[in-house]
Structure 1
């Protein structure tokens, strides 16, 4: 068993100390690809013991540093039983916690641990759990809350906070005890208000963390949740071992639910979804962020969201703490299919270029296609085609790249009026991105970084090439593992 923080197969152990963000644990749902493991990134020093023995370099223990035993561990009957779980939540490091009785599973696979080893202050099963999301209040942001009876316990960095436990009603006025489930809702996904949903029987309570306003939701499709969790911007209600995916604003449940959690949220012998991709190397490479297969486009917006597009799928990069998933385009942009050749955002709108057409989506809680689109790129922006395009934060200037030239388009003019062609030191690029850290051009498996547009235009040779999968997707160096990281399968 490898507890040293690397990816392991029978031949090779790889260190992940090189990762650019070594302050969290990568959350990896069950892989159906042999016995490879997901990278583990530990806070501070590492040792060879189980989760309770890890430290953060200052001597304090961290409850979330559990191990990932192989699929043939001796406890699948407990983890994969029909009973389901008492509570589920992400912790502050992005590890999903599954509570059942006196046990807890840390991550999507592996042996159970005694709950008291990590949370000795709580005796007996917990009723509900959540990870608070409230950036405007740093004192509680990312705190993990555990509920039992009429009380709650709040943990920051794995330690019980002063003043806890306390009555639930003191922290959340109007919320009863003996809850069934709870889940946080991010402001940008929940009508612009940081919210917590509490479930008790058929009643769903909505509590606004800023105004402290309490409402009851009439959500007949989302009731009797035994556990609930938010994962990668999606909201799930568990009913025993079954689960639903629901809209946090309307309470509507998606098609083809309920589904069995043992096929999606945990590694159980003989179970799992995505079998149709196992014999298809191309499909696996598209969905494996670490395969080195090129990405066709990238974009970022002023809210900090970053997306990468690859052959009809997208990855969200800014939520990597909680894991990775390749989602079909239509999951976020209704009716959108095929390759995205270029993408950029401006004025609360997202522009997606496919061939000679552009489609505009209004952004907000979700993406709503603007009436009348798609329409010709030439009519909208004044250019006939684009290999890549980008806007920089809080700028109305669009930069369109085709071949080895770049053109500036003023987005405040309609239709767009492109400026003169300006050469760049690249014969071709697949995608481009501009953030507060500069301009990034992507080609094949590499990217090139420039401080700003001026530096790109003045350059006479390409900036040094760096690995996309290593620096943007937190993968092991390709030469270290031969075929990239294992193909991962996650909840739909």
Structure 2
């Protein structure tokens, strides 16, 4: 009998990997897989730019990684209501009031919870009407909408096809009906665009009119917002350790958007509120199929250099290649390629080209363009550089060197102490 019990026990252990997990109450504790094609209950960035996806009693942090229990990060949601899901969530954009700017709000039935750094704020939960008068309960979704993208700093609350536009400053609510959009079970503002999630798909829309953006919508979220086998949009290309970062170029355009380029990928560095996410360069600049050697921005244009060719794009929503380009480096800038790096300082007309161990100055306001000055550099093998109001940073591998100005860089004969790229700078892993 004991032998039979032992054999049965061993058989059960062997089957354990194939059976759903259960806790002592008999509840199924198998973790859901969002790559199966889930309809999320809510999606929101937190105050650090991590995107959080909610489904039932589970959540996912970021575009990678497995599910975890929601009450592991936000325990009061379950302690107070035991309903096992979030109706809607958004991150507050209220720069005039630092007490609630970047706080994350969760809506459950007729209650609202405010969190900061995963800690519940004093006085919460509250009735939705106490915090957001005029907003109904049992919402479908919600999203922040900063001034400039909406008329004023606002929150869009979705219930069915009705959108309640809540003015943060005045607390005035205007109701719009967007029947052209699907019913949004979650809405996300990400990198200045707005996405309505429905089923396992999403539709991008205009936050002022509800108009669906140009393109083939809906699209499968698994191609864009998570890393799934047999799906993908360059999402499996990730910057890993900071010590392994190798840059090809960095530039800042006139709007203050900062981009870095590495291999076939680029990333927005000024978008830390939305997290750091790499994309294929061809997603934004479709002609740059072989990557870049150097990039710089001048007026409303971005110059991309590869080998001995210069591509000039308009810095607009479509990054349109200007007619007649690419042209040779000799024709456009009066130099031979290849080059290592390039940068302009704010408000200047002189582009500084790093070529081998030299820095070459070219006046972009002059015709024809020729080298006006050249100097030897105190550092060899520079790979990328940019200039802002704080000075010039030049990059070599995972190290960078700071100079007070382009002039200081050009006349220095001794390199400053190397500093290391950090996670805060580029979203890499320490």
What corresponds to 2:66 in structure 1? Answer: 109
Q: 1:441 Cα shift?
A: 1.5
Alpha-carbon displacement from aligned partner over 1:229-263 (angstroms, at most 9, x marks no partner): 234555433223x02151446522754744265x7
Name the counterpart of 2:141. Answer: 181
Query: How far apart are the structure 2 equivalents of 1:309 and 1:80?
Result: 29
CA-to-aligned-CA distance 1:146-189 (integer Å, 9 cap, x gap)? 2244554433443336587254597375x54432111224557x
Question: Partners of 1:415 and 1:118 in 2: how far apart?
Answer: 67
The equivalent residue for 1:165 is 126
Q: Describe the superposition over 1:373-429 as per-residue Cα deviations: whole angstroms up to 9, x where unpaired.
A: 524344544444442111223434322222222233344445545422122123432
1:126 aligns with 2:83: no
Alpha carbons of 1:330 and 1:187: their partners in 2 closer, same or farther (altered >3 Å)?
farther
2:346, 2:387 within 8 Å by CA — same for their partners in 1? Answer: yes
In terms of mean alpha carbon deviation, does 143-152 or 154-163 score higher?
Answer: 154-163
2:282 matched residue in structure 1: 330
| 1:479-490 equivalent positions in 2, closer than 5 A | none
Is the Cα contact below 8 Å between 1:343 and 1:388 reproduced in 2? yes
- For residues 438 and 276 of structure 1, what CA distance do their matches in structure 2 show? 35
- Per the alignment, in what secondary structure is the counterpart of residue 409 of structure 2? helix
Asked if residue 229 in structure 1 is aligned to residue 182 in structure 2, the reply is no
Structure 1 equivalent of residue 325 of structure 2: 374
Gaps of 5+ in 2: 1-27
SS in structure 2 at match of 1:126: coil
Within the candidate set 437, 449, 454, 2:407 is matched to 454
- Distance, in Å, in 2 between the alignment partners of 1:351 and 1:343 is 6
Equivalence for 2:239:
288
Q: SS at the partner of 1:369?
A: coil
Match of 1:346 in 2: 298
- Distance in structure 2 (CA, Å) of the matches to 1:169 and 1:351: 52
> Which among 212, 230, 250 is matched to residue 251 of structure 1?
212
> Is 1:90 matched with 2:41?
no
8 Å CA contact 2:59, 2:67 repeated in 1: no
* Shift in CA distance, 135/348, structure 1 to aligned 2, threshold 3 Å: farther
- Answering whether residue 400 of structure 2 is matched by residue 441 of structure 1, we say no
Cα distance, 1:327 vs structure 2? 0.5
Does structure 1 conserve the Cα–Cα contact (< 8 Å) formed by 2:107 and 2:139?
Answer: yes
Q: 1:329, CA displacement in angstroms?
A: 1.6
Query: What whole-Å deviation, never above 9, does each CA across 1:3-24 have from its counterpart, x for those lacking one?
Result: xxxxxxxxxxxxxxxxxxxxxx
CA offsets per residue over residues 306-334 of structure 1, 9 Å max, x none? 21112221022233465433211232335
2:423 and 2:102 map into 1 onto residues whose CA distance is: 26
Would the alpha carbon gap of residues 308 and 192 (structure 1) be closer, same or farther in structure 2, given more than 3 Å must change?
A: farther
Q: Distance in 1 between matches of 2:232 and 2:283?
A: 20
> 1:33-86, CA deviations, whole angstroms, 9 ceiling, x for partnerless residues?
xxxxxxxxxxxxxxxxxxxxxxxxxxxxxxxxxxxxxxxx95314877776332
Report the CA distance between 1:138 and its aligned residue.
3.0
How far residue 473 of structure 1 moved from its aligned partner, in angstroms, is 3.1
* Cα RMSD, aligned residues only: 4.0
Higher relative contact order (CA 8 A, sep 6+): 1
Partner of 1:464: 417
Q: TM-score, normalised by structure 2?
A: 0.73
What do the CA deviations read for 1:329-353 (whole angstroms, capped 9, x no partner)? Answer: 2323354432222222233433222
1:314 to 258, 266, 281: 266
SS of residue matched to 1:337: coil
CA distance in structure 2 between the aligned counterparts of 1:303 and 1:140, rounded to whole angstroms: 27
Cα–Cα, structure 1 residues 358 and 84, in superposed 2: closer, same or farther, change >3 Å? same
With normalisation by structure 1, the TM-score equals 0.65
2:315 to 342, 359, 363: 363
- Aligned partner of 2:253 among 291, 301, 316: 301
What corresponds to 1:144 in structure 2? 104
* CA distance in 1 between partners of 2:233 and 2:427 (Å): 26
Q: Give the Cα–Cα distance (whole angstroms) in 1 for the partners of residues 179 and 334 of structure 2.
A: 47
Q: Deviations over 1:466-486 (max 9, x none)?
A: 444667435456xxxxxxxxx
The alpha-carbon distance between structure 1 residues 229 and 272, as it changes in their structure 2 partners (threshold 3 A), is farther
Number of the residue aligned with 1:40:
none
Do structure 1's residue 199 and structure 2's residue 158 form an aligned pair?
A: yes
The whole-number CA distance in structure 2 between the counterparts of 1:80 and 1:274 is 9
Retained in 1: the 8 A contact 2:58–2:68? no
Within 5 Å, which residues of 2 pair with 1:11-22?
none
Contact kept? 1:87, 1:128, Cα under 8 Å: yes
Distance 1:179 1:392 in 2: 48
**Is there any run of 5+ residues in structure 1 with no aligned partner, and where?**
1-72, 278-282, 478-492
